[in-house]
A and B are shown apart, each in its own frame.
Chain A
């Protein structure tokens, strides 16, 4: 044994004393630290769960308050009258001005919205900047034909019973991405389905595919 080894017990004896003293001080301020921790924790939880979702979305009105129910009453082929499959199997989506103008070249009724549509868009030949709730990024390939024709699905399954709506609803736009809140879903935790059809994030597609086909599908099926 050398001198160094003998010195160790001495220093070891001294340390418990100092250790006890600092522990007492810590116990005193520990509550305060815990309090602040809880304040920070609860505050950020509340703002994250409650305030953040409202801050994230801005509310926008459609350029024209479109009445689906009214139109369904005057067309013959239901949804397909305006949202149809083209010759090559691709889906027409939202009708363009050309399609609308075939009926609304001039104001026909008394509805101020129709008048606005004709005056602001048809006459100056300007496309209506509809805010599309189901719009997806460009890197997503989605085939309506595969779902509507191939899997025999109803439009309403994903888009909700929009055909019976009498007014357009508020478009909640994500301030960062520009996409509709419908895509993520109205519940920030993505629980439950929104009133207006189905959520439309990638996992939502995959979940449904897993239920219906037994497989989530492959990357390249949607990301070409």
Chain B
């Protein structure tokens, strides 16, 4: 009978149907994560994961964000988005989030935390701030904000003013030196906008145009739309992605880009290829000139003719003198030439000299404030509020010199020198000059050069408060975390990034309700101010950050909430060509307001000082530089898992990172492709693997920026090496800004 049952059952639908049903049943086990169903909707916002300010539209199902795409009609990115922006949801729902205010219970960095309420957190922090003020030392509060533009940084600055501390800092960027060059040569405070769209010949001194420079999605559009209409020359020590996409790649010794620009200027001047109408009528300091005292000063023309012939420059830069001459001729004879500088995406610093040299090239071809040229975007000034009233403590505190030395007699033009903060804290005798450090939208423990020194400096600061949404390195090494909403949960204005010519402001809007017990930094600042009482409280007559923001954006509010951006004419380049705000009213090759050593003409003209990376060549025969990639977030924000997945196995394999080296250099030292080596620099060492790359100059090694995190989540921590932990900051003597783009290094058997 059993056989009959078996036979009968086999020929009946029972086993077949049950097999099918059971397999479907296994797909619907209750613990299998299934997204909630609900109504579809889209919200318009702006991505703030980098300064690019791209418009985004976020698809939601019920109250859950499920997809981020580029906003089709946004002027910055026109519907396109970079991999980081596309992975944005992993910042919202990912495991790196700080879910509520936290107070440290173990040792710093040990990872032991206690959840506390917002009221308690604000009470504790207010008490510490009150104590500093009672001691009449408000200047000992320092605040590191991600940016100094937009209403939130202005709110923080306002808090610092009312509290009485001049020590508002922000992380350095490659654009700082260019801003300073513009301010010296054109007398305008603002960022340089490069009209790449309108140019037909782009001479890029190392700028990673298609690797995250400026607004990455904008640049991808430029590449996608150019169809051979632009000639791109990439000057870069390595065959970067940008160099590979360019029409011409000029390998150069790292750090000598400024010399090459001056060498090109030599050819342009010598062969009279410059735009005569502009240079003769609207510039100052091109030719030698005599001051009121009858003293003859060297002009730009004499300088480049005498000191920067292609032969001399060729030796310094490693570029063939004939190539230099050809580059110069092609650049100056193009219809719409533009010269751009930057290292990779723009986080690595440059010197004032090289920025002035490149800006001088732009002046020689007369593209300033022209379509297809360099346009100066003045500082955004759309938010105006009543003046802050100071009490005597605040006035006294604000008189004190800044702890980073910016704006002091040594570096009168530098506005922020965050890279000097750790050293300033180390050098101080007795108590640290910073007793409380607040950090918003920044991650100095990861991004500042010389991680060990930064850590040691933090150890001398009794109170470190992080406002980060994520458990980044700085948050992990703080005493309190007051987590901010992510950009998908809050309102905030986003000014356009340096490098673009768009005079627009974007608006981050809450796409979903806050997922965790977080609070807007602006609200936290206002709460702290209110509980401080007195003059500090009076400086903040707003109920919360949103009412403050609405008051700031006034008539633009409606357009901002509808479209995600608004055009604000404040930014637009006002000076008509040839009209500058300098003392002479002209473009100044010879920066007459530098105020530096009056006698030495070379200190005010663009030059090449040959700053060498740290380390002795005998001990460290190689030079280590960093590169950026569209697939690796290299700044304060950690790479999301989606992006790490896209990284090639010859960049990161398992937990070990590859460092690019030219086979010639490696073989000379006795190494082979794929070797595990110990990479040593004067500042640290790390185990890496070698990747033979013909596309890098011999004697140079390159590593990606963005790995070597120690915090965030298990999906990011412990992978690869942080470039910043291997380098040290170094001052550009002319500007006071950081100039360390690399360091000397050596490799040995691991």
Contact = CB atoms under 8 A, between A and B. Distances in A.
Given A47-B12, A48-B14, A49-B13, A41 B7 contact: yes
Interface string A157-193: 0000000000000000010111100001000110000
Contact of B8 (A44, A88, A176, A184): A44
Given A88-B59, A137-B24, A36 B4 contact: yes
A138 interface: yes
B3 A52 contact: no
Contact of B1 (A37, A87, A92): A37
B21 A90 contact: no
B40 interface: yes
B39 A45 contact: no
Interface string B1-41: 11111111101111001100110110110000011001110
21 contacts: A36-B4, A40-B2, A40-B3, A40-B4, A42-B4, A44-B7, A44-B12, A45-B11, A47-B12, A47-B14, A48-B14, A49-B13, A87-B42, A96-B38, A98-B39, A137-B24, A138-B34, A176-B18, A176-B25, A179-B24, A189-B13
Contacts of B22: 176
A99 to B, nearest CB: 9
A86 interface: yes
Interface in A1-52: 36-45, 47-49, 52
Interface in B33-60: 34-35, 38-40, 42, 59
A38 B4 contact: yes
A144 to B, nearest CB: 13
Nearest to A95: B39
B5 A177 contact: no
A24 B11 CA distance: 32
Contacts of B13: 48-49, 52-53, 188-189
A70 to B, nearest CB: 24
Interface of chain B: mostly helix, strand, loop or mixed: helix
Interface residues of B, number: 28
A48 B712 CA distance: 57
B39 A44 contact: no
A41 B1 CA distance: 8
Contacts of A43: 4-5, 8
Nearest 3 CB-CB pairs, A to B?
Answer: A48-B12, A40-B4, A44-B8
Interface in A85-117: 86-88, 90, 92, 96, 98
Given A86-B40, A96-B39, A176-B22, A37 B28 contact: no
Interface of A: 36-45, 47-49, 52-53, 56, 86-88, 90, 92, 96, 98, 137-139, 174, 176-179, 184, 188-189
Nearest to B5: A40
Contacts of A49: 12-13
A98 B9 CA distance: 49
Contacts of A88: 40, 42, 59
B8 A41 contact: yes
Nearest to A40: B4
A127 to B, nearest CB: 8
Contact of B17 (A37, A44, A179, A188): A188
Interface in B392-407: none
Q: Which of B22, B34, B35, B40 has the most CB of A within 10 A?
A: B40
Nearest to A174: B21
B102 to A, nearest CB: 36
A176 B22 CA distance: 7
B24 A44 contact: no
A36 B11 contact: no
B647 to A, nearest CB: 23
Nearest to A183: B24
B5 A41 contact: yes
A37 B7 contact: yes
A149 to B, nearest CB: 17
Given A44-B5, A86-B40, A96-B39, A176 B11 contact: no
Contacts of B4: 36-44
B642 to A, nearest CB: 16
B16 to A, nearest CB: 10
Contacts of A44: 4-5, 7-9, 12, 14
Interface in B63-110: none
Contacts of A174: 21
Contacts of A176: 18, 21-22, 24-25
A205 to B, nearest CB: 15
B1 A40 contact: yes
